[in-house]
Amino acid sequence: MAASAPSPARSTVSSPSALPAGASHVVERLHALWSTGSVADIPAVYAESFVAHMPRGWRQSEFMGHAGAKELLTRIRTAFPDWHEQLHDLVESGDTVVTRYTSTGTNTGPLDGRPPTGRTVCVDEISIYRVKDARVVEQWCLVDDLSFARQLGLLT
């Protein structure tokens, strides 16, 4: 009996440098934007109709459009000017991309009305993105907020 051919994979996991242009490339550019803080690059990465779905525990859980992306980026980069996102895994299936990454930074600016702590954080995150016409149109982000708060000294 002849062996059957393996069924095609529904998604792939690759190192970011090995990925072809496409939805995954757009998401790689998004992570680079967050690592550089380049607000001017928002229109090249995010659609005007962009919607971010953040954890429900945040003071605001949805952010819309380029203004919403700028608000999120500015909030983090003001509090953590050295913010950096390191991709560990990237999965692409059609117009959907999932990333697992670590965000790091030193809290040298105010965050949500709190003074800077001077502490460095290293936070695990997972995001699911929907990409259309080479722009991110939607993001669902899960952040380890408990670890984030503990590292900042907000919880004991």
**What's the pLDDT tens digit per position in 16-75?**
333 345 899 999 999 999 999 999 999 999 999 999 998 876 676 789 999 999 999 999
**What's the pLDDT tens digit per position in 78-97?**
999 999 999 999 999 999 99
Model pLDDT, residue 13 = 36
Q: Structure pTM?
A: 0.83
Say if residue 11's pLDDT is above 70: no
Say if residue 5's pLDDT is above 80: no
Mean pLDDT of the chain, nearest integer: 87
Contact call for residues 96 and 23 (beta carbons, < 8 A): yes
Model pLDDT, residue 21 = 56
- Give the C-alpha separation, 103 to 80, whole Å: 10
* % residues pLDDT > 70 (the chain): 85
Pairing of strands 135-143, 46-53: parallel
Model pLDDT, residue 62 = 84
- Ordered strands of the 46-53 beta sheet: 12-13, 84-93, 96-106, 120-132, 135-143, 46-53, 62-64
Q: To 10 degrees, what angle do helices 23-36 and 65-79 make?
A: 40
- Each domain of the chain, given as residue ranges in start order, spans 19-151
Model pLDDT, residue 111 = 94
Say if residue 6's pLDDT is above 80: no
Domain 19-151, CATH number (from 3.10.450.50, 2.40.33.20, 3.30.70.141, 3.40.50.720): 3.10.450.50
